[in-house]
Structure 1
Amino acid sequence: MTALRPEHDTGEEGPYEQRAYVATGAFEAAVDQLADPLNDPLPGQHASPWFRAESIPAETAEAGAAQGRRSEGQLQAPHGAQGPQGAPREWYDPEGYERDWYGHQEPVVAPPPPPLPRSDETIGLRTADTRRPADRAVTAPIPQAEPEYDEEPAPAPDPGPETRELEPRTGPPTGGRAERRRAAKGRGRRRAEPQSRSAATPEGRPLSRVEARRAARAAKDSPAVVASRVVGELFISLGVLMLLFVTYQLWWTNVRADQIAGSETHKIQDDWAKGRKPGAFEPGQGFAIIHIPKLDVVAPIAEGISKEKVLDRGMVGHYGQGALKTAMPSAAQGNFALAGHRNTHGEPFRYINRLRKGDPIVVETQDAYYTYEMTSVLPQTSPSNVSVITPVPPGSGFTKPGRYITLTTCTPEFTSTYRLIVWGKMVDERPRSKGKPDALVG
């Protein structure tokens, strides 16, 4: 029912006898209820019909509804423009429009965040244990696998804030505070296996303290085993030392003696080239060179038979001192006796046992070459038998004084128990001005 329009202010009734807008503000309320997108929006209002009614402020909606109720005749609102409580709404169905235009869409609901892991200790601080005493079964926490090596795992890349929110959080290791401390200390270290893995009986139960002590005592080595190991190590060390000593005696002494003998030979030849006339030879002084062509021996001859000064230096020694003094090669008659090593330290007389009757032995001096021929050999005699170097040695086959040579060395090889003796007699004396003898030229 439409209300009558009001009369003019003059009080005269005109042609319009019905007054439609009697209440003050009814017109503005009716205009506010009409959603015309072509009109300019009033201050604080939405001109576009695409805004939902829920976006209208509650105060504006309540004010409009109050003004409409005060009017005598209220314009009928379009269908769907007023809700059940009288609140103004839009003239169209925005939800139906979106459904027709975009199709039916399910609302997107974010999944709830996963619950954080809580340890027994944390739960115990928040909730009271209401279980009966009989139901309080204590279960040991499962031991975590320890890393075998001291290697830090490679840090994982940061997934980003969005992915990080969806991922479940990993809390501290479960268990009590003491277990977490042990896990933190042992992280990244290689730890020994628990005792329960090895120290157990065949039935599977852990060993008692007494049984563990007995097992540890049985695992220890007995004194006999320890003593045998010590003795074995001593024998091994002694064997290594003996091997080194043998290597030194049989190889290094020869190398060193050959170097010294060669140097002494060059020194003697240099003295001869400079024309130095020798006087009385001092002990250890070289004065001649011996040649044994069959054995390919060339060695210097020095005065004396000192082991350290002459023989161990690879030289041949002349018996020329004290009771063992013998003649020189230049003497009119006498026995020129020499001594040399058979093994080690240059070993110049090692193979004199291979000499045969008639083999030449040449002694070179500053003035001449003296050539001897081997006549006889004494395979073995006592070291104290000094008669073998006398002017006419017994057993040599010589019957009268002459110009002889005697070579002495140790026998058997690598020992000094006995002496091997080789004799010879002079067959040629050649001055150096005439050149080398035939024994050295051939």
Structure 2
Amino acid sequence: MPVVVQGRRRPRRARGARALWTGAELAVTAGAVLLLLVAHQLWWTNRQARDAARDEVTQLERQWRQAGTPSPGPAPARGDRTPAGDRTSSGDGGTRPAPAPGPAARRAAGAAPGPGLGYAVLRIPRLGVTAPVAEGTGKSAVLDKGYVGHYRHTAQPGEAGNAALAGHRNTHGEPFRHLDLLRPGDTVLVDTAAARYTYVVRRILPRTTPGDGTVLAAVPHSTVHPAYRFTAPAAYLTLTTCTPAYTSTYRLVVWGVLRSTQSR
């Protein structure tokens, strides 16, 4: 008669300890991965973006020096447009539009090129901020590179109307990390190939909704918070970023008014 040998069952307590140990290992691994992701987001993206932004500022300033004395006056309104009156003879008695300048020529002249290419430099002395300004507010093309983005269809720096800019408050260079520390009377400078425009901070809207689009209007005001408004045309500068820190729930808005223009 064959003999059946039964295996010894592992005690229930041992199985529970093994499961607990496995769970602990998975938790430690998950924690390590999460820590690496946080370090990448909060440290590495900042380092990359700040280096890229610093290089762009250096390149812009070098181009401006090499271009010599630029034409006076503010940058063109929407960089890729040719003014209706800017015509050249077609040779047949009519007129044709002047050929649009290439990106290098537009950058040298201070006009806004395509998204992702810097054409101005924003300086906020109180915060120690120096950042390139590029056309558009797309994340991958502009903001995630550590640049400050110019809202399309708003005025260009130095023009009458509202020159509106956006920047990250956290990660990717976070040029507007401490925008909440600005106070009325602080100065904000915008350098282009044509001039330096000095704005003075007038009003600060600590929090509004992302859909409060009238803060970018030519005469800016808040539809959500009607007490925050300007009533007269002027040359305004609007700075926007997310708030509170590490969220994108609301928007912080800073408004300035042009005080002086210093031609190069």
Provide TM-score, normalisation by structure 1. 0.47
Aligned to 1:217: 10
Q: Using the alignment, how far apart are the partners of 1:411 and 1:306 within structure 2?
A: 18
CA distance in 1, matches of 2:126, 2:184: 12
Q: 1:246 aligns with which of 32, 38, 43?
A: 38
**Quick one: structure 1 residues 217 and 341, their matched pair in 2 at CA, closer, same or farther if it must change by over 3 Å?**
closer
CA distance in 2, matches of 1:312, 1:398: 31
Alignment CA distance shift 1:217-1:372 (3 Å): closer
Paired residues of 2:112 and 2:119 also in contact (CA < 8 A): no
Query: Residue 169 of structure 1 aligns with which residue?
Result: none
What residue in structure 2 maps to residue 305 of structure 1?
137
Given residue 260 of structure 1, which amino acid in structure 2 is its aligned partner? A
Larger Rg: 1
Counterparts of 1:278 and 1:424, CA distance in 2: 21
- Aligned-partner Cα distance in 1 for 2:198–2:230: 18
Say whether residues 1:269 and 2:80 are aligned partners.
no
Structure 1: which 5+ runs fail to align? 1-208, 433-442
Distance 1:228 1:218, change over 3 A: closer
CA distance in structure 2 between the aligned counterparts of 1:408 and 1:270, rounded to whole angstroms: 28
Inter-partner Cα distance in structure 1 for 2:113 and 2:179 = 27
Take 2:19 and 2:215, find their aligned partners in 1: how far apart are those partners? 55
Aligned to 1:288: 120
Q: Given that residues 158 and 261 in structure 2 are in contact (C-alpha distance below 8 angstroms), is that contact kept between their aligned partners in structure 1?
A: no
What's the CA shift string for 1:300-333, capped at 9, x where partnerless?
111111101211111100002xxxx2001232x1
Tell me by how many angstroms 1:278 deviates: 4.6
The CA deviation string for residues 400-427 of structure 1, in whole angstroms up to 9 with x for no partner, is 1110000000111011111111111011
Q: 1:237 aligns with which of 29, 40, 60?
A: 29
Partner of 1:125: none
- 1:385 and 2:212 matched: yes
Structure 1 residue aligned with 2:154: 326
Query: Quick one: which amino acid aligns to residue 415 of structure 1?
Result: T
Structure-1 residue corresponding to 2:263? 431
Q: Decide whether the 8 Å contact of 2:109 with 2:194 is kept in 1.
A: no
Query: Displacement of 1:218 after TM fit?
Result: 3.4
Q: Deviations over 1:198-229 (max 9, x none)?
A: xxxxxxxxxxx98x954x6339832x444333
Shift of 1:232: 2.2
Which runs of structure 2 are paired with 1:58-73 in the superposition (5 Å)? none
* Number of positions where the alignment pairs a residue of Structure 1 with one of Structure 2: 216
Structure-2 separation of matches of 1:254 and 1:342: 11
Q: Which residue of 2 aligns with 1:258?
A: 50
The structure richer in helix per residue is 1
In structure 1, how many angstroms separate the alpha carbons of the residues matched to 2:215 and 2:205?
Answer: 9
Structure 1 residue 397 corresponds to structure 2 residue 229? yes
Range moving further from structure 2, 396-405 or 357-366: 396-405
Identify the match of residue 172 of structure 2 among 315, 338, 345. Answer: 345
1:75-94 correspondence runs (5 A): none
| Aligned partner letter, 2:182 | L
Query: Pick from 192, 202, 205: which aligns with 1:365?
Result: 192
- Tell me if the contact between 2:237 and 2:255 (Cα under 8 Å) persists in the aligned partners: yes
Aligned partners of 1:329, 1:375: CA distance in 2, in Å? 17
- 2-structure distance, mates of 1:213, 1:254: 59
Correspondence for 1:411 among 233, 237, 243:
243
Residues 17-96 of structure 1 mapped to structure 2, 5 A cutoff: none
Q: Deviation above 3 Å: which 4+ runs of structure 1?
A: 216-220, 224-227
Q: Which has the higher strand share?
A: 2
Q: Secondary structure in 2 aligned to 1:357?
A: coil
Q: Which has the higher contact order (CA 8 A, sep 6+)?
A: 2
Partner secondary structure for residue 10 of structure 2: helix
Aligned-partner residue type, residue 57 of structure 2:
T
Structure 1: how far apart are the matches of 2:111 and 2:240? Answer: 26
Q: Tell me, in whole angstroms, the C-alpha distance in 1 between the residues paired with 2:156 and 2:10.
A: 80
CA distance in 1, matches of 2:24, 2:259: 62
Counterpart of 1:345 in 2: which secondary structure? coil
- Say if 1:280 and 1:368 are closer, same or farther in 2 by CA, change over 3 A: closer
Identity %: 46
Q: Call closer, same or farther: CA 1:352–1:220 in 2, change over 3 Å.
A: closer
Note the C-alpha offset of 1:230.
2.8
Which among 8, 16, 19 is matched to residue 227 of structure 1? 19
Map 1:27-176; keep pairs closer than 5 Å: none
Q: Which amino acid aligns with 2:65?
A: A
Pairwise CA distance, 1:376: 0.8
Change (3 A) 1:280 1:425: closer
Q: Which amino acid aligns with 1:370?
A: Y
* 1:356 is the counterpart of 2:148: no
Distance 1:342 1:234, change over 3 A: same
